Amino acid sequence: MKPSGYFSLTLQVATGACLGWFLTACQTPLKASHGYPAGWPQLTRLGEGCGELRGTYANQGIATAPNGGVQPITLVSLIPRDKPLDQHAIRPGASTLPESVTLAVLPATRWQPYPKLQATIKTAASIEAYEVGTASRRNALLYVLRSSGSSAGALGFSSSQSRVFLTQGGDGSLIAKIHTEEQGMILVIPAYSGQYTWARFERIGD
């Protein structure tokens, strides 16, 4: 049960910045570690610019669960929506449940050293496009999904954020490694926890 006075705040954070510790994390190939399922495809080492990620993927995927099994996950849940690019209706009144997500990787520029990810979410009713700034340019695309904080009055404060690494499986599927970290202070005692989740989405088009 949440203590009295508890409040929470969820913020979409800027995704373009890449701090030094991010650079260390995102320039090395992802490894099949931290609970990567044995039956999933081998991870692909992406080239400069991560262009291999371009394609259309099913919104419904599977993710590792704490009990060692798998659980459903949606690709839409991993797409930050703080930078909308476009939205237009196809069939007003039709289902708004996301069917697929098309990823486009825009090349780095002189002023933007890392590629930008453009995610287009398609439903039966509409198409929505979002820009996602990244903090890497090889082996995997890295971005911060969201940051959230919660307070329990005088008891303490905690905040969490998820770093998402996108790469490709040997069968062309989209593989995401999600590292969620939570830090806080409870009665002046520092607290930290971290969790890794792997997610996989089938490629359904180029």
Task: Look up the pTM and report it.
Answer: 0.78
Confirm whether 135 is domain-assigned.
Answer: yes
When the pLDDT of each residue in the chain is averaged and rounded to a whole number, the result is 80
158, 47 in Cβ contact below 8 A? no
Confirm whether 40 is domain-assigned.
Answer: yes
Q: Residues with Cβ < 8 Å from 152, sequence gap 6 or more?
A: 2, 3, 5, 6, 186
The percentage of residues in the chain with a pLDDT greater than 90, rounded to a whole number, is 44
In the structure encoding, which two tokens stand for residue 55, read together? Answer: 């394609």
Confirm whether 131 is domain-assigned.
Answer: yes
pLDDT at 100 over 90: yes
Confirm whether 2 is domain-assigned.
Answer: no
Confidence (pLDDT) at 19 = 36
Q: Which range of residues forms the domain containing residue 38?
A: 8-22+34-205
Confirm whether 3 is domain-assigned.
Answer: no
In order of 1, 7, 27, 56, the CA distances from 48 in angstroms are 47, 43, 10, 20
Alpha helices in the chain (DSSP H): 20-26
pLDDT tens for residues 12-29?
Answer: 333 333 333 333 333 456
Could you give phi then psi for residue 23, rounded to 5 degrees? -60, -40
Confirm whether 1 is domain-assigned.
Answer: no
Domain tally, the chain: 1
pLDDT tens for residues 108-124?
Answer: 888 888 888 999 999 99
pLDDT tens for residues 33-85?
Answer: 889 999 999 999 888 889 999 999 999 999 999 888 999 999 999 999 889 99
Confirm whether 109 is domain-assigned.
Answer: yes
